[in-house]
Each structure stands twice: as structure tokens, then as C-alpha cells.
Amino acid sequence: MRQLHSIGLGARAVAAACTLAIAMCGNAHGADDVRAGWPGPGQLYVGTCYQPVDRSREQVVRDIALMKQSGFKVVRMGDLSWDYFEPSEGHFEFATFDWIMDQMHAAGIKVILDIPGQPAPLWLHHRYPGVDLVTEQGTHLDAAERYMDDISDPDYQRLLARLADTLTRRYAHHPALLAIGYNNESGNGFISYSEADRKRFIGWLQKKYGTLEALNKAWATQRWSRRIGEWDEVRLPYAEGPGPYERKLDMRRYWSDVTIATLAKLDAIRRKNVPDKPALSNLWDSAPRKGFDYLSTYRQYANYGAMGFYPYDPVGSGFEALMMKAGMATPIWFNEFTAGGPGYYGTPGRSRMWAHFGLLLGAQAVLAWTFNSHLGGEEQALFGLLDHDSRPSWKLDEFARIAADFAKLQTLGFPRMTQPKVAIAYSFDNMIATNPTGPDATNSVKQYIVTPYLKQAHNAFEPLFKDNIDVAVINIAHEDLSRYRLVVVPGMYLLDKASTDALRQYVANGGTVIMTAWSDKVNEHNQWYDTPLPGGLTDVFGLRTNAFYNAGTWVAHIGDADVKSTIGNYEVLEPSTAQTLARFTSIDGAPPAITVNRYGKGRAIYVATPAQPQLMRPLYRQLYDSLGIEPGPKTPDGVYARTVQGRTLYVNTTGDAKDVAIDGAMTGVLSGQHWSGTLHLAPLGVDLLEK
């Protein structure tokens, strides 16, 4: 559960696995289409995550009857249960799970089979201590909690591949099987510092840089007497500091590549044994402990953007869900979905509201976490759809209502197959580069970038989202930008050459890009450019960014309105070919607040401040008409809406009643009520209106 928010795997093996995956599937892997037999248009799914390891056969029979009665179509099983299938090395037991699969099929319930590669069982840790974690200080750790596995260990990789091969071959043709998932919450693991890890990291560096000269240049080792004279002098940088940022960035990239290669290997096994079923994994690329670069690699191992959805606020949660969808044409799957929570029983109507909110984003499925409340372990106070005494709670009734809603809506144009015209750039590398750790962070980018990167991204996203416009969240170096009328680059401190080249070509070909302050200051090695800033794009934006100050507060005049700041920091813009769109009227000299430059056939707009909604909103609205971008239905704050096949779905995400102006008389498909001129939405209320 997210808290909101012989096969060796040396460096050369990591690269080889990724190369193999690209060669076998490339961009046509299936991330951008829906194939025969996959969950497709016209199908919505409500179901649950289910851990039969906790249940007796009598309980399983009763549980499945309740699922069927509630209208559930799918369950996700297998995750977190390696030793349920393989209680000792090489000894597999399937009799009970075979029976459960048969029971699910008899009830008409499909199964997502999760390969339970993490956590690794204790017998594996005992027999192969290379899978144990080692701390930065060299302390060996026992596997005290889940995900305490060194997934780069060759024995772990070998045994994981055998588990995946065995499970997928056994259930490949089972009629209940819907999809395959990999290693629950991939990305939510730990970095290990063993000697074997150090050597694998060195191999990765040798592959990446080739020579010590190139490594020394990339790591700026001339500073502080850190020159590396031979490869064996390389050490794993301390994740929690101290240490130079260039090294930490490469270490996080290495561990990202380990995760990606593991997923690619599992997908190669799926494609060999179960080619007619999609990969539908519960991934966590933004996990704070480690994470991985999903947005530049997802086509190697994912057919649907899938995640655990535990929303906290509409803007941040919507952004994260769209980040998992990425550039895919397939719908979003919420493989885990908010029901109760650790120590939190739930709020009536909340899960239903978020389920419909998901439909607005383009979701196809919600799977409650979890069916039965956990009696013990790390989540023993977690409240599921059944209480701890196995009595159905009101939450099961609520998910049954969601299932009934979805049964109606799947005949009315849901799931929404979105085609966004606006994209927001997001980068794993940039997230790492802007979040240094350790004592030396006092002189770091954190002091320079006072608005965190993710906050900038959310601030850039918020006005678009509140205008009910579909948005994609992508890595701009790995997508076809010609699909978008507008690309927003919020606070991209690190902008690598591939991204720079992509933006240059996009604007030259007629695209419009908006970049906000603190962008394009360092290169792919996390070192500041020795050229005018923004680093590789001064000619595209027609300016130079010079000094940067904190005005405390400021006022900018844009269009016909004055905008007041909530974030006082700004950059001094020195236009060359750029024209000024807005000025700071409260700062001496009225310097530019926003500039626009014609480059090729397109426009490059630079905002002198970190992204903040009150400035981005009027800027976007000035551009909508010229870009052919049409805002969605007008809604009060906290209410979101999308129109599908002439009907409009409204979702009130707040705890207050909301009145929404509507055009004429309409009927609620979900509520059955008739409305004229005004729709009244109860707190957490939803409805689909048609004329």
C-alpha cells in the first residue's frame, strides 16, 4: 500500500536486458493500443485485491460469493506471497491456488495474477545472503520488513525468473486469467551498499562512460581533491549524504536501471508464456525511497498505466495518475484503490467519489485495497471491505454501488479514451537533481530552488485541470511531441540534451512551449552550464536569464489584470529577440515577468517566476483560442467535469454541497433526478447529466 505518496544482473546485464526489451518490442510493444482479449473500450471493472493466504477454504467460498453479489468483475491475487507458492527452494505448491482460480472462474470473476517477486522469502535470504541489504555504514540488515531485498543480486534474479516462468506457464491458459502483474509496488525498495553492489555499480559506470577521464569530467572530481585514478577507487555515494550531487544522480540512475531491467525480464517471460495477456502491474515510480525512471521506459514492460490510488487532493492525485498513464492510449488501472486505511475506517461516499474522479481522468478499473481487513503484520490496523471479524462493512455496499454505476456508464462512452492536446514535462532525473540530501545540502540547489520541483509541476497543472482540460504527463525526450498543441516545462532544473533537442524541434515545427523559472540550469551530469541560461535554449526563448531575487511579494500585469504573487522569487530576464507579454509592476524598472519568442514556426514562452496558478491561469487562457484548446464545462472550485458522448459527468471532491450552473433542463443518469438551470451536488456527490 502506498503511503501518500543463471541470471546475474551486473551492469552489463542491466544494459543487455534493456537493449533486448527494446529490440523485441520497441514502441510497438502494446502500450499504445488495445489488443484482442485485453480489457478494452466499453468495459469498466470494479473488484478488489485479495490475499487468499489469509483465508480458509470456507472463508474463500463465502468471500467469492460476496464479491459476485457485489458485482465485482476482477480480483488481483498473488502479490506479496512468494512463499505461498514456493515454501522452500524449488518446491512449488499450487493445489489451493488452482482451486481458488477455478472458484473465481465459476463466479465469473477475472484474475490479475501478480508475480510476487517482492518481498523475497526468508529461505532465499537464508540460503543466498547476497540478497540481504547493507547500509551506507556497512551494517548487514535482516529482512525485517517487506521490500528489504537487493534485487540486483544474481541469485535473486535467477530465482525470480524461475518463479515467474513457473507461474505464467501454469496459469497461461486458465480461463479466469485476465492479465499479469510484476513485483507489487516496484520502485518502493531500498538501495544497498554491499561490496557486490559497488562492483556492479562500477560495471554500470564503465558501460556508461567508457573511460576514467570521462567519469572524472562528469563527476567534477577536480573539486575538493576527489579525482579517481582507477576504477576500484569508485565508492557508492551516500544516499543521505554527504557527497557530491553528480555521483548521487548516477547512483540513483543505476538503481533505476536495475528496476527497469528486472521489469523487462519479467515481461520477456510473459511474452514467451502468455503472449495473449497484457502486463498490468502495480508500479510506484515516484516512491520516495528509491523510485525509477518509468516515463522514459514504460513501453518496455507495461501495457496499461496502473498504480495504487490513495488520493489526498484532486490536483496532486490527478497529476500522479496521469503520470502513470503517460503517453499511453490505454486506460488507467487503479490496481489498489482507497477504501479504508491504516487506522482509518473510511468516510461514506469518499471511495465512490474518487472512483468517478478516476473516470474523469480516463480510468477503467478500481480494485479496493483490501477485501478482508488485516489481522496481523505491517498493516494490521488496515480496514478493508470486510471487518476484522469477516463481517461485511458498509464499504462493501459502497463498492457494490460503484460496480452498479460502472455497469451503467460502460454503455455510455466509458472508459474515456482521452487524446490530450496539452502535455506537462516530468523527469526522474530532475526529481533527483532538485532534491539533494545530507549536510552539504545547505549550499545546494535546495537553497536556490525554493519552490520544490513537484510543487511547480502541480502549480502548472492546476489551472488546466480546473478548466477541465485533459493533460498528459510525459518525459518529453521519449514521446512524439507533435501530438500536443502546448507543452509546459515547469521548473526543469536539469534538462538533458535529448530533452533540449526535442523542445527545439517541437517549437521549430510549430509547437508552443512554456518554461518556468529555474529551468535548464544544469546538464545531464547535474553540473551548471558554462553558457548563457537557459542552457541549450537561449536562442529558442530569445533571452538570457540573469540574476534571481526574492521580492517577497510582487504584482505582475498580464492582459487586462494585475496578478499578485504567493511565491516571491523571480529571475531577471534579458530579452534579445523575445517580446514581453507581462511585467512586474511592483518592482523597480518593471522587468519582464513573461516573454514570448518566435522560433521557426512556433512560440517559446518563458515565465520569470516559479509556476503558480494565479499567473499560469491567465497565461493559459490567452493561448487557448490560438491553440485550438477548448476548456471543459465550467464548474465551481472543487468540482470537476468531462463531457462524454453529449453527457457530462460531474464530481464534487469537497465536503461541501455545490451548485453548478447547467444549460437548461437535464436528467441525472446516476441519480435519476431532474435539474433545470442548476445542478445541486451533495458533499462528495457525483452525477452524469443528459438532456
In which band, very low, low, confident or very high, does the pLDDT at 45 lie, cut at 50, 70 and 90? very high
The pLDDT of residue 32: 52
Residues 532 and 665 in one domain: no
326 falls within a domain: no
CA distance 101 to 385: 21
pLDDT at 539 over 70: yes
Residues 623 and 648 in one domain: no
163 falls within a domain: no
Residues 556 and 683 in one domain: no
Residues 473 and 511 in one domain: yes
Residues 623 and 647 in one domain: no
Helices (H), 346-488: 350-361, 394-409, 428-433, 445-448, 453-466
pLDDT at 302 over 90: yes
The pLDDT of residue 449: 75
Look-up of cell digits 495477456: 277
10 falls within a domain: no
Q: Return the number of other C-beta atoms located less than 10 Å from residue 126's C-beta.
A: 12
CATH number at residue 677: 2.60.40.1180
568 falls within a domain: yes
658 falls within a domain: yes
561 falls within a domain: yes
Q: Give the three-state DSSP class for 524.
A: coil
Question: From residue 356, how far is each of 333, 402, 403, 465 by CA, in Å?
Answer: 13, 8, 11, 15
pTM for the full model? 0.94
Do residues 246 and 526 lie in contact, with contact meaning Cβ atoms separated by under 8 Å? yes
Mean pLDDT for all residues in the chain: 92
The pLDDT of residue 559: 84
Residues 585 and 646 in one domain: no
Residues 527 and 655 in one domain: no
149-184 confidence digits (pLDDT tens): 999 999 999 999 999 999 999 999 999 999 999 999
CA distance 54 to 182: 21
The pLDDT of residue 441: 58
CA distance 690 to 647: 5
The pLDDT of residue 191: 94
Looking only at the bridges linking them, the beta strands covering 422-425 and 471-474 are: parallel
Q: Could you say which of 577, 596, 627 is where a domain stops?
A: 627
CATH number at residue 527: 3.40.50.880
The pLDDT of residue 378: 83
- 83 — phi, psi (to 5°)? -75, -5
15-32 confidence digits (pLDDT tens): 333 333 333 333 334 445
Percentage of the chain modeled with pLDDT above 90: 84
Residues 578 and 508 in one domain: yes
Tally of CA atoms within 13 A in the half-sphere of 342 that contains its CB: 10
596 falls within a domain: yes
Number of folded domains in the chain? Answer: 2
Residues 647 and 569 in one domain: no
Angle at 544 between CA 538 and CA 549, to 5 degrees: 135
Average pLDDT of 239-251? 84
Q: Could you say which of 573, 594, 627 is where a domain stops?
A: 627
366-378 confidence digits (pLDDT tens): 999 999 998 888 8
Residues 611 and 682 in one domain: no
**Domain boundaries, position 665:** 639-690
308-364 confidence digits (pLDDT tens): 999 999 999 999 999 999 999 999 999 999 998 777 899 999 999 999 999 999 999
Most confident among 51-55, 169-173, 240-244 (mean pLDDT): 169-173
Residues 454 and 523 in one domain: yes
298 falls within a domain: no
Residues 497 and 598 in one domain: yes
List Cβ neighbours of 162 (8 Å cut-off, separation of 6 or more): none
CA distance 372 to 388: 7
Q: Could you say which of 587, 607, 627 is where a domain stops?
A: 627
The pLDDT of residue 17: 36
